């Protein structure tokens, strides 16, 4: 199984690792079958991702994908970040071994979940009234 130089760099030197204190939102996803778990934190300013960080328990592909995703997402508007997908992350890493492509599916989806959680937290609560 051969990883690209860029994927190995993001695995051995992951970027943006750790929790954001007072994050605006976070999300966690995982695959119980293979044991991969990812948590992402975001800080939003003026509808842009000012900071994106992660912690991951998983194989080199999971860690590399999360690291690359944080670099790609930081600075994007929320709408631009929603268009970020797994194929874009893998392409930015110059590819992954075929048998590890399934590991890439969490990086973008957990980012999207964090954005969803942020937007839910900003929505006014729906109130029910008795008629």
Which residue of the set 59, 65, 66, 103 is catalytic? 103
Q: Which two tokens stand for residue 60?
A: 């080199």
Any residues with CB less than 8 A from the CB of 96 and at least 6 apart, and which? 3, 4, 7, 61, 64, 65, 90, 103, 104
φ, ψ of residue 55 to 5 degrees: the values are -135, 140
Name residue 40's beta-bridge partners. Answer: 27, 54
In Å, how far are 17, 26, 28, 81 from 32, measured between CA atoms? 22, 20, 13, 26
Query: Any catalytic annotation for residue 34?
Result: yes
Query: Any catalytic annotation for residue 103?
Result: yes
Q: What share of the chain is helix, strand, coil (3-state, %, to 5)?
A: 45, 20, 35
Active-site annotation, residues: 34, 103
């Amino acid at each position: 199984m051969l990883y690209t130089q860029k994927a190995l760099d993001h695995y051995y030197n992951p970027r943006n690792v750790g929790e954001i204190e007072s994050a605006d939102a976070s999300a966690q996803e995982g695959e119980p079958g293979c044991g991969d778990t990812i948590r992402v934190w975001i800080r939003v300013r003026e509808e842009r991702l000012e900071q994106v960080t992660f912690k991951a328990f998983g194989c080199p592909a999971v860690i590399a994908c999360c690291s690359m995703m944080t670099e790609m997402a930081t600075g994007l508007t929320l709408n631009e970040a929603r268009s970020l997908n797994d194929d874009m992350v893998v392409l930015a890493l110059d590819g992954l071994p075929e048998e590890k492509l399934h590991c890439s599916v969490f990086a973008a989806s957990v980012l999207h979940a964090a954005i969803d959680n942020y937007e839910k937290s900003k929505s006014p609560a729906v109130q029910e009234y008795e008629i």
